[in-house]
Amino acid sequence: MNKIVIVGAVGGGATAAGQLRFYDPDVQIIVFDRDSTMSYAACGTPYVIGGVIEDEESIIMTDPKRFKKKRDIDVHMRHEVIAIDRAAKKVLVHNLETGEQFEESYDALILAPGGSAIVPKIEGLDTSKVFTLRNFEDMQKIDQFIKTAQPKNCVVSGGGFIGLEMAENLKNIGLDVSLVHRSPTIMSILDTDISLMIEKELALQDVKLITGTEIKKTEGKTIHLSNGIDIQADFIIMSVGLRPNTRLAMKAGLTIGETDGIQTNEFMQTNDPSIYAIGDASENFDMVTGDPKRVPLASPAHRQAFIAASHLTGNKVAKKGLLGTSVLKIFSLTAAMTGLNEKAIQDKNLAFATVTHTGNSNAGYYPDHSEITLKVHYDPQTRKILGAQCIGGKGVDKRIDVIVTAIYGGLTIDDLQALELCYAPPYSSPKDPINMVGYKALSK
């Protein structure tokens, strides 16, 4: 392999480039990205806006000049790849600064184009101040607006990860926040009972939550909702979803899967074996069911980058599927999940049972402890773990991480009671909540 072109210079693309150089000191690597900032921690952007991260530059991992000097990789920002000639193995590149177009050949091509924020067609939306948060420039625009216009209130549309993180951070800097969500409950990847615990926390923190509705029309600072309620807001954060950037792949005749992502195999190859797809726009498969799955999160993108780079340099490490493991901080609560939730299990008509344990994160007599609820779904016949969720104060993430490891290693729900986990009063109990879930499942 002599020359590899990568489309996208953020999480997946930049990681793939770095991995390729690590495994092959001689291969030529060229990266193109239409934005102006490479390799930044997108997950940190809400916390820059909220003032938790004081230096916005700290979330930028590197820049083209440093990347070239350290890794001998050419990165061209503000360059958009607009076409792929698969037969000739060339891409057509548009320099967004100069307007120039040119061709670049490749032996292998990695697509890491990410996704774009969905902005619904809403009457009057152009009369209101509306922001999305998908890249570094979006973050800067929101931050600058808040600092110069000094708004007092806002509407966040969409109760997923970005919406909830923005609601928390905007509230923390003193804004009056209303969160509007179309579905009956927020965070659709969670079971309803877990979502309702988050809704209770939002109420305690004085975030006005309006579910079962959406923005129907706007007139400047007046936001008309579909349920007849009007809200006054100085600006809107639109976080209703992510659309995978697959236009380039579609034009090139690459297969788009059921989840609207670019379909890939276990090595992240598309239907053209010389073209790989990773990150938010790629579709792989579910580790539990084998069904098509797309997970637009950082950890899967980094793993996929490693798999593609390994395969290209002669080391065939297969992807074992996606679980969609994720964690969310919302004020004093942490919520985390992995695998299938109750709705997904029911939609797939799978037999399942559920065990739930509510207890302390660590010894109740120790001053620093909190209540956590751990909920695990499993197959009652095979005892295979199908998915899990946890919510509470401290220690939520480590419980889900143990469940992830158990699923990956093929452990059953019954095996959880036998795990010899860390114990000292500041950290757990002699019988950890993980063990308790296993004991409760055994009793069933």
**Phi, psi (5° rounding) for residue 353?**
-130, 160
Catalytic: 154? no
b or e along 416-431 (b: 16 or more beta carbons within 10 Å of the residue's beta carbon)?
bbeeebeeeeebbbee
Tokens of 52: 């938790």
Other C-beta atoms closer than 10 Å to the C-beta of 69 total: 10
**Enclosing H/E stretch for 300:** helix 298-312
**Phi, psi (5° rounding) for residue 99?**
85, -5
Angstrom distances, CA of residue 383 to CA of 176, 286, 294, 337, 341: 47, 18, 26, 19, 16
Instruction: Considering the candidates 43, 154, 390, 422, report the single residue annotated as catalytic.
Output: 43
Tokens of 303: 């793993």
Give CA 270 to chain center in angstroms: 22
Angstrom distances, CA of residue 248 to CA of 8, 77, 112, 152, 254: 12, 17, 11, 41, 9
CA distance 360 to 315: 44
The contacts of residue 364 (CB under 8 Å, 6+ apart) are: none
As annotated, the active-site residues are: 43
